[in-house]
Amino acid sequence: MATMDDIARALGITKGTVSKALSGADDVSEAMRRTVVEKAVEMGYSRIARSHAVKKICIFILHMAYKKPDDFGYDVVIGFRKAAEPAGYRVDIIELDDATQRSISYDEFMLRENYQGALILGMMLSDPWLSCMQTCRTPAVLHDNRVRGNPAVADVGIDNDEGMHLAVSHLQSLGHRKIGYLSSGLRSYVYQQRYAAFFDALRQSGLPHHSGLAASESHPADCVRLHLPRLIDEGCTAIMCSHDQLAHEAMLCAAGLGKRIPQDLSFVGFDDIPLCRSTEPPLTTIRQDRSNLGRCAFSALLNLITHVPISMLLLHTDLIVRDSTDAPPSEQA
């Protein structure tokens, strides 16, 4: 672990200047401050090592609601805190905006604020900090994103592959042979995973699996309007959806087309958001255990902090059977 002396020597400046730069003192120029911070990050300097009293980590939240119990992030944050705080970590919640990501790198931010590591929730492929994740040295756990080859970064999520197999097996056991798939746009890591897992599940179950059985669009309303009638015409008796909100839209559209759910057409969602209990009928889906996702994210982060280079940590999923699935029309009494 590099010391302030090491940094001073490497830059040919005094330790006093290093100390001032790292503490953000006014009498150090912005250019010098940047030079010192960048060198400190490069050399693996950490202020934490000098004080065992404070162990600080944070959760960055982007593009995700988390304040109310029904919000996706709510239970994740609570699960994380419940694991982190008894282990002696203070957890700060930071709503990360685009301007902050553009003004400072992830490593610099973490060094400046004295954080040992972070969970990052809701990051999208277009977020500036995603590129920081390729090379950062401060531990980071990403939810539903994959960064290859950086030992300081881990991906935490659910086992989408297992979830998709559970859903397809459930539909197959009810008697469905032709299952369609409606997906959100495929520019997201998690929807790419689920799309591939759907076809993998069809193949392994011996069911028809030509690419015409699936469709993806960025906007749920477009996806449903453009593709649901075609899948029905194809003879699909069940529709798997990449996420619950899309399944909800698809059920509304199917009802508009005069289809009874589940008598004429079964639907399965993914995630088990609270909405699933109040759709008409209530939606069969694959559950993400958000509280345990939070606990696992802390477990992964603690491993990264202690130099165990976790790449990926996935949680088991559950099939939650409600009223939107039943046998196909041909098999009903």
Cα(110)–Cα(66) distance, rounded to whole angstroms? 22
| Residue 316 near a copy of itself by CB under 8 A | yes
Residue 318 phi, psi dihedral angles, 5° rounding: -130, 145
Contacts of 46 (CB under 8 A, 6+ apart): 1, 111, 116
- CB 312 → a copy of itself: shortest distance, Å? 4
- CB 297 → a copy of itself: shortest distance, Å? 11
Residue from the set 149, 233, 330, 333 that interacts with a copy of itself by CB under 8 A: 149
With CB under 8 A as the rule, give the number of residues binding a copy of itself: 27
| Residue 143 near a copy of itself by CB under 8 A | no
Helix (H, G, I), strand (E, B) or coil at 27: coil
Stretch that binds a copy of itself, among 67-75, 107-115, 154-162, 233-241 (CB under 8 A): 154-162
Stretch that binds a copy of itself, among 25-33, 64-72, 228-236, 316-324 (CB under 8 A): 316-324
Q: Which two tokens mark 41?
A: 């990050």
Q: How many residues does the chain have?
A: 333
Cα(66)–Cα(317) distance, rounded to whole angstroms? 21
DSSP letter at 109 equals H
| Residue 216 near a copy of itself by CB under 8 A | no
Pairing of strands 153-158, 118-121: unpaired
Cα(277)–Cα(296) distance, rounded to whole angstroms? 26
Other Cβ atoms closer than 10 A to 324: 25
Q: Which two tokens mark 101?
A: 């990501």
| Residue 272 near a copy of itself by CB under 8 A | no
DSSP letter at 151 equals T
| Residue 295 near a copy of itself by CB under 8 A | yes
| Residue 310 near a copy of itself by CB under 8 A | yes
Residue from the set 39, 165, 176, 194 that interacts with a copy of itself by CB under 8 A: 165
Q: Which two tokens mark 256?
A: 């508009």
| Residue 315 near a copy of itself by CB under 8 A | yes
Contacts of 332 (CB under 8 A, 6+ apart): 263, 326
Residue from the set 292, 305, 320, 323 that interacts with a copy of itself by CB under 8 A: 292
CB nearer to a copy of itself: give 231 or 315.
Answer: 315
Residue from the set 312, 321, 331, 332 that interacts with a copy of itself by CB under 8 A: 312
- CB 34 → a copy of itself: shortest distance, Å? 29
DSSP letter at 46 equals -
Residue from the set 87, 308, 329, 332 that interacts with a copy of itself by CB under 8 A: 308
CB nearer to a copy of itself: give 47 or 146.
Answer: 146
- CB 165 → a copy of itself: shortest distance, Å? 6
Q: Distances in Å between the alpha carbon of 313 and those of 178, 276, 300, 309, 332?
A: 32, 26, 7, 11, 41
Contacts with a copy of itself by CB under 8 A lie at 148-151, 158-159, 161-162, 165-166, 289, 292, 295-296, 299, 303, 308-318
